[in-house]
Amino acid sequence: MKKISFIFLSLIISLSTAYAQKGINFSHTYAAGNKLLMCVDSAAKNIYYDFKFPNQPNTSFNYLPEINNVSIQIYFKTTERIQDYRYTILVDNKPIVVNESIGIAQMKDLDRGDDELLRFTTLGIFPIKGKTITTLIYSTENPIDIYKSVFYGLPIPKAKIEVLAKRFATEKGVDYNYIRKPKERIDLTFTEKDDELTIVKETLDIDYVYYISIKNKKTDKIIFESNSWLYGGYLNEAGKLSPYIKIDRSIFKKSGNYEIIIQPLIDWDNCQDCNISSNEIENYVSRYTLSITLDEEIYTKKELLFYTLIALFSIGLFFLLILFFIKKKKQEKIGRKRATKKHRKAST
């Protein structure tokens, strides 16, 4: 009886293990940043992997909105000293593994079909739906270079503008006018003393993912674009530093409506099994209408040349008309004189 119970228990454990592994396709790996690979659910779609950003050279971002479980693997070249590497894993910013060494005994050969042979091991299988997993990897030989990979299983939140700050010149230097928690339509007037606009974004754990652009709604052209968020000048209500971007006032050449757009810097077409719609993508985009009034309009060289030519053409046309009427009057005068002479001759 005990033997039968043991066999039954072993069967349940085996089936449970098989079920836990069943959902992941281990035959297909994705780059997950630096030395990491990942395997995900067999039927998963919209797998955005190993995105890098200009202002975060050692950070990789993997967006996995439809994934339930992820297997994270680490690989090394045969020439690398595996014993020098350490890794930390955080789930929802809480550490579950800290400064752990790599298990050399668990390393397996990874043949990618080229001349270079790699070795790899699995760091773990993690539920990712509704969670964020972060890995930090470094070598004890160069501990300053920490490589970060983020596995994001949450919807990317819409960015919000926390503060708009307009800088203006004073007798003692500069000062600011603030608009806090602005609405989707913002009315703003620039005088000759105003020289800069600062846009402060609400702080998020993935600030580096977002970029900002400003579009002229009349011409539909982008006049400003950046993802170089700065830190240090603004603290939010929780006492955390808020990211901000400074914009020179001179980009606004004319009064009118402009659009501030803040969205993730993700190539939505560059993924595995993409089927995300434009309406879904729009859910990640924040839009604010900026109605600008300029006390002094700023003109480009092309516009100045255009208006100068119009002015010269108008002046030239005006003088031509004057000459035409003067000539016409002279001709009429000469005609009248000739008619008078003919009339006198006829009367004599």
196-235 pLDDT, tens per residue?
999 999 999 999 999 999 999 999 999 999 999 999 889 8
Question: Which carries the bigger pLDDT value, residue 347 or residue 327?
Answer: 327
* Residue 10 covered by a domain: no
Q: Are residues 102 and 221 in the same domain?
A: no
Which of 158, 239, 228, 169 shows the shortest CA–CA distance to 199?
228
* Residue 303 covered by a domain: no
Q: Point out the least confidently predicted range of 91-100, 105-114, 257-266.
A: 105-114
Q: Are residues 39 and 148 in the same domain?
A: yes
Q: Are residues 140 and 29 in the same domain?
A: yes
Which of 51, 45, 29, 63 shows the shortest CA–CA distance to 272?
45
* Residue 300 covered by a domain: no
Q: Are residues 28 and 147 in the same domain?
A: yes
Strand ordering across the sheet containing 142-152: 48-53, 56-63, 142-152, 132-139, 85-91, 94-101
Can you tell me whether residue 156 is helix, strand or coil? coil
Q: Are residues 260 and 319 in the same domain?
A: no
Q: Are residues 22 and 127 in the same domain?
A: yes
> What are the distances in angstroms from CA 49 to CA 62, 178, 241?
4, 39, 28
* Residue 87 covered by a domain: yes
Q: Are residues 111 and 166 in the same domain?
A: no
Average of per-residue pLDDT across 152-174:
94
Q: Are residues 165 and 212 in the same domain?
A: yes
Residue range(s) defining the domain that contains residue 331: 308-348
Dump pLDDT digits (tens) for 28-57. 899 999 999 999 998 888 999 999 988 788
pTM of the model: 0.76
Q: Are strands 286-294 and 185-190 parallel, antiparallel or unpaired?
A: parallel
Give residues with Cβ within 8 angstroms of 313, minimum separation 6: none
Is pLDDT of 151 > 70? yes
Dump pLDDT digits (tens) for 226-268. 999 999 889 888 888 999 999 999 999 999 999 999 999 999 9
Amino acid at 196: E
* Residue 25 covered by a domain: yes
Is pLDDT of 88 > 60? yes
Number of domains in the chain: 3
Question: Is residue 207 within 8 Å of residue 229, measured between CB atoms?
Answer: yes
What CATH number should be reported for the domain holding residue 244? 2.60.40
